[in-house]
Amino acid sequence: MEGRNEKRRSALFSGKMDMEDMENVLALYRDLFQLNEMDPPLDRPPRELAEKEVRMRLAEGFTLVDPEEILPDGPELAIRIRDVLKILQRHSEDPDSLTGDLKDLIDQPGRLDLLVGTFLREGEESVRKSLASMKDVNPEVAIFVLFNALKVPFLGAARRCRGIDTTAWEKGSCPVCGGEPAVACLIGEGGKRFLICFRCETRWRYRRMACPYCGHEDPKESVFLYSEDADHGALSASVCGQCLSYIKGWRVEGEDPGELCPEIEDLKTPGFDRAVQEEGYLRGAPNVFGLWIGSPDEEAPDRD
């Protein structure tokens, strides 16, 4: 679907940030976007998914792809890590320290494999814990670089699954890879809600009022916070009274999302995240480049 990529590209390259002093972060996203565009996933034959298996997996809550199956092998992963690191260095005030941050890891493929396994099975909090003992590795840099080094294989998996009907899937996590939703999109009058995976960027339908992160649903308590910025009138955040997380959503009139790419608009609206976080809520998942941007204590990983 080249059309979708073109839309995403023009949304990212024509836009600006909704808050000051973030231009460098936008430039970082643009470079990462171009890297992913330039570097399509190696064509490994997809595992055949028979129609019956697809139906069974979706109905029983198993993702279409097991993330560990699409992992690049050691040498490919190392190349991808270096590519992402190079981009991060271009936007860093202290590029040399970044190499130091990761050198120990890149030089020890065994350790890297373990870490990637932990990342995919248990998530970034576990990576943070297991890196806490390596004093020369900055966990935030490592997580950012790993996430983006794995981006292309995930996008490839999503592309292979794009034609599959996932309406039987009922979870708040991605039917393709199990990732959490970065953002939501509300389409039409009744507001059908679609979520977009922060990892493989697949869209899938989800209950309109439920929290995708904890499943809590109570229409009486459902709270939306709206952007006060006139440029972002269609933007709101749906907040959960149970787990206190929020998800940003874009409302689209009519049935066709048209030019709108919520996952890209998300990158350009960190100011709105900050406003919602000041109300006491936390993002439920990072953005599509793996950053929890907008959090008061976590900007780009190269900030200090």
Q: Does 177 bind Zn ion (CB under 5 A)?
A: yes
Chain residues 52-111 in contact with Zn ion, contact rule CB under 5 A: none
Instruction: Candidates 12-20, 47-55, 93-101, 205-213: pick the segment binding Zn ion (CB under 5 A).
Output: 205-213
Cα 247 to chain center, whole Å?
12
260 strand-pairing partners:
none
CA 130 – CA 37 distance, rounded (Å) = 32
- Min dist. Cβ of residue 210 to Zn ion (A): 8
Among 214, 234, 260, 282, binds Zn ion (CB under 5 A): 214
186 strand-pairing partners:
193, 251
Among 179, 181, 290, 294, binds Zn ion (CB under 5 A): 179
Q: State the SS3 of 279-299.
A: CCCEECCCCCCCCCCCCCCCC
- Minimum CB distance to Zn ion smaller for 25 or for 143: 143
- Min dist. Cβ of residue 215 to Zn ion (A): 7
194 strand-pairing partners:
185, 205
Instruction: Candidates 50-58, 91-99, 139-147, 238-246: pick the segment binding Zn ion (CB under 5 A).
Output: 238-246
Is 139:128 a contact under the CB 8 Å cutoff?
Answer: yes
CA 125 – CA 136 distance, rounded (Å) = 18
- Min dist. Cβ of residue 270 to Zn ion (A): 22
Cα 227 to chain center, whole Å?
21
Q: Sketch the per residue contact string, 110 through 149, with Zn ion: x for CB under 5 A, - otherwise.
A: ----------------------------------------
Instruction: Candidates 27-35, 106-114, 208-216, 259-267: pick the segment binding Zn ion (CB under 5 A).
Output: 208-216
CA 280 – CA 270 distance, rounded (Å) = 16
- Minimum CB distance to Zn ion smaller for 192 or for 216: 216
Is 88:145 a contact under the CB 8 Å cutoff?
Answer: yes
For binding to Zn ion (CB under 5 A), which residues are involved? Answer: 174, 176-177, 179, 197, 199-200, 202, 211, 213-214, 216, 240, 242-243
